[in-house]
Amino acid sequence: MRHARGLIPLIALAAIGVTAVAAAGEIQVLCEPGLRVYLDGELAGISSRLDDGAYLMDVARGLHIVRVEKDGFEPQSFEVLVGQVPVEVTVGEFQAEAAPASPEEPAGERPALAVGTLVVTSAPQNCVV
């Protein structure tokens, strides 16, 4: 009987552990090393060659947004549904960020001309400029 009392909490803990593991999923992000990988807006890690990108474990089941960023390029976002089976996301080729738009002059209008005086002096004096 003494052994049965110690066994019941152990069985309860094991059942909780199995439930917690079953309620979480995994996401494999296939990409080049050195990229920032975000899960639902939070930095989840940096991709590595060892993981063939990034491997996100213990992700709650349900709908999530995975975003991958590389400096100087447009970020890529993926909507994934995490369940019992691991989800695989393949990151494609990155597109360079668009240059900031420069303000353009309205069509048909010319810029105002600056009017003023220019004084030129030379050394030696009396030279033709």
pLDDT tens for 12-50 read 444 444 444 457 999 999 999 999 999 999 999 999 999
For 24-90, CATH number out of 3.10.50.40, 3.10.105.10, 3.40.50.2300, 2.60.40.1120 equals 2.60.40.1120
Whether 66 and 78 have beta carbons less than 8 Å apart is answered as yes
Q: What is the pLDDT of residue 7?
A: 46
Q: What is the pLDDT of residue 92?
A: 94
pLDDT band at 3 (very low <50, low <70, confident <90, very high): low
Sequence spans of domains, the chain: 24-90
Overall pTM surpassing 0.75 (yes/no): no
pLDDT in tens, 55-82: 999 999 999 999 999 999 999 999 999 9
